[in-house]
Chains A and B, each alone.
Chain A
Amino acid sequence: DSGVTQTPKHLITATGQRVTLRCSPRSGDLSVYWYQQSLDQGLQFLIQYYNGEERAKGNILERFSAQQFPDLHSELNLSSLELGDSALYFCASSVAGGLDIQYFGAGTRLSVL
């Protein structure tokens, strides 16, 4: 058990809809990262938050957004969903950032029908 909790485990929705994925980091970790894993693109870094502030952006689409709340949990919002957004979404956390070890949650599997 990594200590990182993601909910829900599975999500099924329709094209054009909006969903919110939630992540609770390990106790004491200030950084949260979001990754997407799809069959064709592999594991891709989307975005990082550190202590409530956006710190780094990866291959995140404009339709996607994230935030980190004062209690350090994070949410990833996906809107105007397309079939191609079907993927596993992982959250990871680390103590701070930089070269810190990242601890991953079990992921949320999103199916867009």
Chain B
Amino acid sequence: DAKTTQPNSMESNEEEPVHLPCNHSTISGTDYIHWYRQLPSQGPEYVIHGLTSNVNNRMASLAIAEDRKSSTLILHRATLRDAAVYYCILRAPGGGADGLTFGKGTHLIIQP
């Protein structure tokens, strides 16, 4: 599986934008970039995914570099509830193994 690299932790202030980076220099042309997050004492939850174009949904935006070797998850206005571990995961279509491969993720700390 292609590997992702994320900072261990990041800190931001409430109501400010947060940019969470992910490097995936060995990404293949068909790999999708998925983001999940895990709030304290909860199971992981889906955030967003994309292939080549930038994506927006009600939770976040995903900016994908033109060469696809990196991407950034953007939380436009962080709240205390966004404090979580964020995982960047590459997923290949038709691979037959549909389980998610979680790395260590980025522990996002939000200061009030």
Instruction: Determine which residue in B38, B96, B98, B100 has the highest number of CB atoms from chain A within 10 A of its CB, and name it.
Output: B98
The number of chain A residues touching the other chain, given as a range, is 20 to 34
B residues bordering A, Cβ < 8 Å?
32, 34, 38, 42-46, 49, 87, 91, 93-94, 96-104
Structural contact, B98 and A106, CB atoms closer than 8 A? no
* A to B CB contacts below 8 Å, 25 in the list: A4-B43, A31-B98, A33-B99, A35-B99, A35-B100, A42-B102, A43-B87, A43-B100, A43-B102, A45-B99, A45-B100, A48-B99, A55-B98, A56-B96, A56-B97, A97-B98, A98-B93, A99-B32, A99-B34, A99-B91, A99-B98, A101-B49, A102-B46, A104-B45, A105-B43
Interface set, chain A 69-112, CB cutoff 8 A to B: 90, 92, 94, 97-107
Complex CA distance for A94 and B94, rounded to whole angstroms: 15
Complex CA distance for A94 and B100, rounded to whole angstroms: 12
Chain A residues lying within 8 Å of B96, measured Cβ to Cβ, are 55-56
A residues bordering B, Cβ < 8 Å?
2, 4, 31, 33, 35, 42-48, 55-56, 58, 90, 92, 94, 97-107
How far is the CB of B28 from the nearest CB of chain A, in Å?
14
